[in-house]
Amino acid sequence: MPTNKPTNQQTAKKKPQVTASPERRRELLDTAAEVFAAQGYNATTVRKIADAAGMLAGSLYYHFDSKESMLDEILSAFLNELWQGYDTVLAAGLGPRETIEALVTESFREIDQHRAAVAIYQKEARTLSAQPRFHYLSDSQQKFEKAWLGTLERGVAAKVFRADLDIRLTYRFVRDTVWVAASWYRPGGQHSPEEIARQYLSMVLDGIALRT
């Protein structure tokens, strides 16, 4: 007859949940982001992240249940902040040129704040977006494309931008040349994100040839 004796799985003690301070959690996620950016998501293990953070791999599991959870938090935090800035720009009622200028400036500010997350996004978004947990990456990309294409189209219609522009090609050029900066930009360098944006916009909107 049944004895109702607990199984080993039922009696096993769970690891205690440790709530890290917001500062410590941020530090761990920043470390994980740097490792993901340098080595790639698939090649990164929890042990590698723990080593970089100066702790045991088992200790890291007290704070995060998987490397997937860490990556999810890194990318979602970056995109949430990016869209707070973008939505503010898009709701400001600026002209097309001013909107492009503000979006580019906001983009470089995000690279300054989330350089590693941007690098991860650039490398991994296409693959990750196929997973249900990261489907928001695809949604964000579609929203991003709509915002930029819409602004460029508005500029052409208003005769602020050239009528012969290939809108989609222009969008891809601006998108890629802005975000590739994450591969070389380092916070605290010689130029602020606002100065880099100003120089970039000068080249894109006004060209580099000497006017005669």
C-alpha to C-alpha distance for 202 and 108, rounded to whole angstroms = 14
Average pLDDT for 51-80: 94
Query: What length is written for the chain?
Result: 212
- Is 47 in contact with 80 (CB distance < 8 Å)? no
**Residue-wise pLDDT tens digits, 142-158:** 999 999 999 999 999 99
The encoded tokens of residue 144 equal 């991003």
Whether 53 shows a pLDDT value over 60: the answer reads yes
For residue 39, what pLDDT is reported? 95
Average pLDDT for 59-87: 95
Average pLDDT for 68-82: 97
120 compared with 18, residue with greater pLDDT: 120
Looking at the chain, the whole-number percentage of residues with pLDDT higher than 90 is 80
For residue 207, what pLDDT is reported? 85
Secondary structure element (H or E) that encloses residue 117, with its range? helix 115-128
For residue 172, what pLDDT is reported? 96
**Residue-wise pLDDT tens digits, 145-203:** 999 999 999 999 999 999 999 999 999 999 999 999 998 988 888 899 999 999 999 99
- Is 52 in contact with 67 (CB distance < 8 Å)? no
Please report which confidence band the pLDDT of residue 18 belongs to, taking 50, 70 and 90 as the band edges: low
pTM of the predicted model as reported, rounded to 2 decimal places: 0.85
Q: What is the average pLDDT value for the chain, to the nearest integer?
A: 89
The encoded tokens of residue 145 equal 């494309």
